[in-house]
Amino acid sequence: MSTLTALARAQAASTAAAQPIATLRHVHISDRPLVFVPLMLAGEANAPLAAMVGDRSAAPTLLVVPQPRNRDLRFTFAGELADLVIRYIDGFRGVTEAVQANRGRETRYRYVQAPQVLVPNPPGVRFVRLLGRSTRLRRSYGRYAVDPSVPLLGQWLTFLGERAEHPGSSMLLAMTEALGMHWATGQSAVEDGNLAALMGWIDPPAGLSATVAAAAAEDPLTWPPAGPATDPTFDNEVLAPAIAAYDRAAGDDGAQRRALAALETALAGQLRPTWDLMWRAVEQLRRLPEGSRVASRWAADRDAFTSYATYLQEGGLPQPRRDSAVAAAIRLDRLERAQAAYDAQRALDDPLVMAEYRMVGEAFAGTVVAAVPDRVDSSGPKRKLRPHITVLTRDPVRLEPGTSVVAPPRVQQRAQIVSLSPVESGTEVVLELSGGMGRALTPAPGSVPALGEDLCYSALTESYQPPGRFPLREETPWTHGGPPQEYVPSDDDAVEEWS
């Protein structure tokens, strides 16, 4: 939480309307996302109870497990979900595009589209990950054989769950988080975890103020929880009798059909409000103009999708129960670099995000008040064009002389801070420019910021950061348990209890 966001929350509370904390959209929103609203049985690790799923707001599919403690019914659910999800995912495996890699020496192909799964909240992401874990190690043969689609679903859900941890990825998004990146509400972060309350602030129903809408959203009768946890009162008063009725009707097809229909109606009533909210939230996000670097991050998602689809096609094994030490370290390193790049990209895209860095002196914006565009540095053996410009800023600058900075529209041009001098109206920063000005000793027209131009410089960089160096898997040091055994899913994994 920064002062800027805190101030936006205060403004939201005072005006009773959500306030923007980004001027652009920083997540990719697919033309055809798969909205997935799961419910699970309270008290169990991962017992699916119901789900509403689909890629069109007008056509949700309702899946129900009439007796969530029944293993066979769980696998029926998993099979039905698998059919839907795999059909959706396969729909993106048509057209590919060629991508030049390694400075044009190699060409690889990636799908031009990729799946995007939207769940209401972070526990929804956790549910996807756990459902992936409980299904990916199953087998379609042997004891407790399941439909072949079940382990495949597990592999895809695990892939999506892991991808969701990758900063900047939009393949599996928790809606409350996607919204919370763009709007500040007049309530606390705790209350923002309730999708209905959050949407009440961002997009209150006609005729209602945001505060009234958010308060109404806390009544589980009007706005059932967005899952996967259910409302305990619903559990005790509606769900438990309905499940009991289903159990009692065993052996009587007609009665069981009626009991199932009653359960479906009850569960649809719990899911439908969230389903509608999800699509309203999608519309809200679509209305924001997309940041210029969103497409490149989505391209990275498409790369990941393409390579995992290829891996599966070649009969790839399911993800192990736990990463080996080296794999875990490599993954952590990758996530850290992705986080730094993602933070920098959002700031370079969006002045309001950059303002966070200006608040703390890590970026400064101002006007060019002096320029020596044809300054040449002849101190070295070769004369070099090194123009100087002076930027007057009101921001508190905490960058040291010698720091390299860039300004968003001129990311190809490096500027080095030469000096900082406080003046009456702020700070004058003298910058020495290099790059992006052509090859001659006089700069190409327009390549040096002109007098009066407004610019924002920061030390943020989105340039490639080399990965850390890690030992080979077979050279895992003894401190980390030595070389791990190759993971091969076992028979035990496949028949693991799911009760």
Q: Among residue numbers 327 through 356, which ones bind other proteins (CB under 8 A)?
A: 351-352, 354-355
Of residues 208 and 376, the one with the C-beta less far from other proteins: 208
CB burial of residue 168 (10 Å; 0-12, 13-18, 19+): buried
Q: Does 322 bind other proteins (CB under 8 A)?
A: yes
The nearest distance, CB 293 to other proteins, in angstroms, is 17
Q: What is the helix, strand, coil percentage profile of the chain, to 5?
A: 40, 20, 40
Q: Going residue by residue from 383 to 422, which x/- string records binding to other proteins, judged by CB under 8 A?
A: -----------x-x--------------------------
Q: Does 496 bind other proteins (CB under 8 A)?
A: yes
Of residues 395 and 462, the one with the C-beta less far from other proteins: 395
Q: Does 236 bind other proteins (CB under 8 A)?
A: yes
Q: Does 144 bind other proteins (CB under 8 A)?
A: no
Q: Does 426 bind other proteins (CB under 8 A)?
A: no
Q: Does 70 bind other proteins (CB under 8 A)?
A: no
Of residues 56 and 321, the one with the C-beta less far from other proteins: 321
Of residues 195 and 309, the one with the C-beta less far from other proteins: 195
Q: Does 155 bind other proteins (CB under 8 A)?
A: no
The residue within the footprint of other proteins, chosen from 240, 328, 335, 451 (CB under 8 A), is 240
- Kind of pairing between the strands at 19-20 and 183-184: antiparallel
Q: Does 11 bind other proteins (CB under 8 A)?
A: yes
118 with 175: CB under 8 angstroms?
yes
Instruction: Find the helix or strand (DSSP H, E) in which 319 lies.
Output: none
Q: Among residue numbers 204 through 233, which ones bind other proteins (CB under 8 A)?
A: 218, 230-233
Q: Does 6 bind other proteins (CB under 8 A)?
A: yes
Q: Does 187 bind other proteins (CB under 8 A)?
A: yes
What DSSP assignment string belongs to 351-395? HHHHHHHHHTTSEEEEEEEEEETT-EE-SSSS-EE--EEEEEE-S
Phi-psi region of 326 (alpha: psi -120 to 50; beta: other; left: phi over 0): alpha
401 with 471: CB under 8 angstroms?
no
274 with 226: CB under 8 angstroms?
yes
**CA 234 → CA 51, 92, 224, 466, 485, distances in Å?**
16, 38, 9, 52, 47
170 with 286: CB under 8 angstroms?
no
Q: How far apart are CA 335 and CA 328, in angstroms?
A: 10
Using the contact rule CB under 8 A, the part of the chain among 140-148, 174-182, 291-299, 490-498 near other proteins is 490-498
Q: How far apart are CA 412 and CA 22, in angstroms?
A: 24
Positions that interact with other proteins (CB under 8 A) = 1-11, 13-14, 20, 23, 41-46, 126, 130, 133-134, 186-191, 218, 230-233, 235-236, 239-240, 321-322, 351-352, 354-355, 358-359, 394, 396, 496-499
